[in-house]
Chain A
Amino acid sequence: MEPGEIHALLGENGAGKSTLMNVLYGLYQPDEGEILVDGKPLKLKGPSDAIAAGIGMVHQHFMLVPVFTVAENVMLGAEQVKGGIAGFLDRRRARREVAEVSERYNLRVDPDGVIEDLPVGIQQRVEIVKALTRDVDLLILDEPTAVLTPQETEELLTVMRSLKAAGKSIVFITHKLGEVKAIADRITVIRRGKTVGTASPTASRDELAALMVGRSVRLTVDKQPATPGRPVLEVAGLVVDDDRQIRAVDGVDLTVHAGEVLGVAGVQGNGQTELIEAIMGLRPTLAGTVTLDGQPVHGWPTKKVLRAGVGYVPEDRSVDGLVKEFSVAENLVLDIYDRPPFGRGLALKPDAIAKSARERIEQFDVRTSSANAEVGTLSGGNQQKVIVARELSRPLKLFIAAQPTRGVDVGSIEFIHSQVIRERDVGTAVMVVSSELDEVIGLADRIAVMYRGRIIGIVGPDTPREEIGLLMAGITPDTADARATPATATDGPAGEPGGTAAPAPEGPGNEDEA
């Protein structure tokens, strides 16, 4: 690593990127080999040694205390006290430090905001601020973009550039090729714990992907034109509140036909989650109707909706999708355990469950040591395959996939996408919700863009990215034409300066813009 360099560490899930960085940060002890900082070998006994050596880390899963404020989290571990032995916490100083750092690197955070109320993007910013207040020279970002929206990603990249300009070195761990190409100065690819190559950012995406996976990968989704049939899912005038009783979905009308993929694009937090949760019966609908094959299903319990032939891949697999302590086999029947052949009356049929598990593992290429292994021991991509396998293993009318490939490695993304298209081709109505614009464009036959709880526009997949990006920012073509801002047209959805100021439909405040 050199000062003022952004070094990308690229590799599939489970390749050993995070482990390497945890060793560097002192969380794990190396079995062999040594770490050199400024030419001197460094022996790290714990993160405090690493911080002292000028190494800071932002973890993939944030290490923040949810009920503390930003300032309190930043000072955590390095609390400044005043009043001598009485040891009062010097909150004012902590707040000042936060304000200073966020000013210097243009990282806007509110020192008094409580972490659990902040969107993920801001939480991550807090982590970065926290690392920067420790005066680090080398910042490790472990898959920082996995949880971010395109806008937030773009902002993060901007932040990284400004940090680089300030002379900080950054190790950027990821498996997203686009970001690497956009920002890295040097790329090291890791596969199965070994460095398999170093590349420059000018290498093509396909070259990088091949290096990562060890074989060539198709990055685009192969598909025939859709042949839409009858409307399967019809949503009319749907109104839903989020957990804080704030209007999240505000009169959405949608139709998904058999044999087509409807992509729902939009910046995270614009009501997509609430929309699908309402369809699934996980969240009460306040007004409007949801009909499945002509039958009203709103107000149904989730089990009944699933039974009616709806498959659902939830957004957050580790929270909503899987029971980590359960075996792969048990997770594969999590929503059909009480139906023949897996259960009859009160009794479960372990043989039937095991048999079906072996078939699914084979069919969906789930890499696991056995069907009885705990799902928590699998890599992210394989965990996601377990969910997809579960949902696609019964006859469906409608398949809803939310962020189907978030935090999933390249090889698995390719596989999951092909499964989604296969399901479409057998005549299932498919709805894909994703904050990855590429994914939506690649999969969808029609794209609905959600903004502030409403569908702001429905466009075809051939629509230019910029136009969809503008829609995601709440700018419909008419208003955009009127404003005619040349700067925004080239830059896509993110970094859109007019986004917040643009005339937007009435709706609840969007915290992502905070």
Chain B
Amino acid sequence: MSNPNPVSGSPDKEPATESQAAQNAVGNTDRAATTATAPKRPEEQPRPSLGRLFLDNLWAANTVTVTVLALVLAMVIGAILIIVSDPEVLATYSYITARPGDAINASWTVVSEAYANLFKGAVFDPQASGFTATLSPISETLTYTAPLVFTGLAVALAFRGGLFNIGAQGQATIGVILAAVAGFALPLPPVLHLLVALIAGAAGGALWGFVPGILKARTGAHEVIITIMLNYVAVYFLSWIIVQNGVQNPTRSDAISKPVETSAQLPRLLGDNLRVHAGILLAVLATWAIAWLLTRSTIGFELRAVGANPDAARTAGISVTRAYVLIMVISGLLAGLGGANMVLGSTANALTPQVVAQIGFDGILVALLGRLKPWGVLLAALLFGALQAGGNRMQSYSGISLELVTVLQALIVIFIAAPALVKAIFQLRAARAARLQTSLAKGW
């Protein structure tokens, strides 16, 4: 059997495999790429048949296979957790030696029902009748997806530029504040109002990204520390501003702001009964824009060069300080848009302390799951959105806590981050060559 990825020998060549592995992790979205590079290598054995090659590559340790298998593994562990956390099912295990059928049946029922509800809540419910009921799962999924695409892109872009932006949460928080304030404080006509609110959100995030960017560029302060600290500042700023006069809803005594006017809200796409709104369209647009920016623009070239080797970039005349600031500003801008989505869409229409949820931190997971490629981020956000939408239904129908979904998300990312583990479990080939895939960001 031919190994499409021969382990190269000398230490001179080791960076080659390493960078190649990193490229596999970081490089490109299209699934063919990883498999296509293999046959191009010069020392190739006589060509096996096409079908053989396809099977080989399918089972080789490429990113797609690993991602799918990580998902499967996470589902399996999730199933175990469901069984363990259900006292009735667990009770059947006390007499498993006497009647194993009971235990197996009960486990199967609870697990299959849970995952069925997850699926029904996220994608499609065969029992549903009518336009609204049929499309409702998809609508929910897309509603959860939209903000995650923005924060995921924010983190991925910064990663590609060599920066670890932990601050998407804070940037989204500032974005949500400015978007909401623009949404209820400015008397503007419908379309313009929405536009202004979105720009305000983006500007807020960009500002919150600019601070760590300029500090990193000018003083060498580490962006991770600065962004974490700015997250705290943003969160407490949000709690503070909600209860200020002119912001707080005068008819309420709890911490909630005035509602965003309808003229500033993102239009719903499928009627008032379905929550999906134009945010998802903006998200796809942003994905396309970032994909273009990274691969087809001079800024993207600079950014990738700085991310991969700042010394060479500097020697080639690229201003590294400018690139760092630019990366953080664009990253913050995206996160701010993600935040704006949370208050201008259908998720909420007023500021509360929890209005941004965890989209900034989830964005880090989405970026990693999407392998730092724009279209990959979109798919990863879709998966996370589906898990959340389905998790809601799973909770109400199967009585399984929503936290299980969080655990599932975490497990998926852990298995993705530890490809060697997945490969070892499934005995994938070429595990050694691709072992270094985890080196997603320099210095971390």
On A, residues with C-beta under 8 Å from B are 13-14, 16-19, 22, 27-28, 59-61, 142, 280, 282, 301-307, 312, 314, 319-326, 330, 334-335, 337-338, 343, 345-348, 350, 369-370, 374, 376-377, 379-380
Q: Are the C-beta atoms of A18 and B16 separated by less than 8 Å? A: no
List of 5 A-B pairs having minimum Cβ-Cβ separation, nearest first:
A303-B317, A335-B316, A19-B9, A18-B10, A377-B16
Known: A280-B315, A303-B317, A377-B16. 20 other contacts (CB 8 A): A13-B12, A18-B12, A60-B12, A301-B317, A302-B315, A305-B317, A314-B315, A320-B312, A322-B309, A323-B308, A323-B312, A324-B15, A325-B22, A337-B298, A337-B302, A346-B299, A347-B297, A348-B296, A348-B301, A380-B12
Q: Are the C-beta atoms of A302 and B12 separated by less than 8 Å? A: no
User: Which of B12, B18, B296 is packed against the most chain A CB atoms within 10 Å?
Assistant: B12
Q: Are the C-beta atoms of A22 and B9 separated by less than 8 Å? A: yes
Q: Are the C-beta atoms of B309 and A337 separated by less than 8 Å? A: no
User: Which A residues are CB-close (under 8 A) to B300?
Assistant: 348
Query: 8 Å CB contacts to A: which residues of B9-42?
Result: 9-13, 15-16, 18-20, 22-23, 26, 40-42
Q: Return 12 A-B CB contacts under 8 Å, by A number.
A: A22-B10, A302-B315, A302-B316, A307-B317, A323-B309, A334-B312, A337-B298, A346-B299, A348-B298, A377-B13, A377-B16, A377-B19
Q: Which of A60, A337, A376 interacts with B16 by CB under 8 Å?
A: A376
Query: Is B314 interfacial (CB-CB < 8 Å)?
Result: yes
Query: Is B364 interfacial (CB-CB < 8 Å)?
Result: no
Q: Which of B9, B15, B312 interacts with A321 by CB under 8 Å?
A: B312
Assembled-state Cα–Cα distance A19/B297 (Å): 40
Looking at the assembled complex, report how far the CB atom of B349 sits from the nearest CB atom of chain A, in whole angstroms.
36
Looking at the assembled complex, report how far the CB atom of A48 sits from the nearest CB atom of chain B, in whole angstroms.
18
Q: Are the C-beta atoms of B301 and A282 separated by less than 8 Å? A: no
Q: Are the C-beta atoms of A347 and B40 separated by less than 8 Å? A: no
User: Which B residues are CB-close (under 8 A) to A348?
Assistant: 296-298, 300-301
Query: Is B305 interfacial (CB-CB < 8 Å)?
Result: yes
Query: Is B311 interfacial (CB-CB < 8 Å)?
Result: yes
Please report whether the interface of chain B is mostly helix, strand, loop or mixed according to DSSP: helix
User: Which A residues are CB-close (under 8 A) to B64?
Assistant: none
Query: Contact size class for B?
Result: 35 or more
- Given A335-B317, A338-B298, answer yes or no on A326-B9 (Cβ-Cβ < 8 Å): no
B305 to A, closest residue via Cβ: A323
User: Which of A13, A338, A376 is packed against the most chain B CB atoms within 10 Å?
Assistant: A376
Looking at the assembled complex, report how far the CB atom of B296 sits from the nearest CB atom of chain A, in whole angstroms.
5
User: Which A residues are CB-close (under 8 A) to B314?
Assistant: 282, 302, 320
A306 to B, closest residue via Cβ: B317
Assembled-state Cα–Cα distance A377/B23 (Å): 12
Q: Are the C-beta atoms of B299 and A301 separated by less than 8 Å? A: no
Q: Which of A13, A335, A350, A380 interacts with B296 by CB under 8 Å?
A: A350
User: Which B residues are CB-close (under 8 A) to A325?
Assistant: 19, 22-23, 26, 308-309
Q: Are the C-beta atoms of A324 and B19 separated by less than 8 Å? A: yes
- Given A369-B40, A377-B13, answer yes or no on A282-B297 (Cβ-Cβ < 8 Å): no
User: Which A residues are CB-close (under 8 A) to B315?
Assistant: 280, 282, 302, 312, 314, 320-321
A344 to B, closest residue via Cβ: B298
Query: Is B313 interfacial (CB-CB < 8 Å)?
Result: yes
Q: Are the C-beta atoms of A326 and B297 separated by less than 8 Å? A: no
Q: Are the C-beta atoms of B318 and A322 separated by less than 8 Å? A: no
User: Which B residues are CB-close (under 8 A) to A326?
Assistant: 304-305, 308
Query: Is B319 interfacial (CB-CB < 8 Å)?
Result: yes
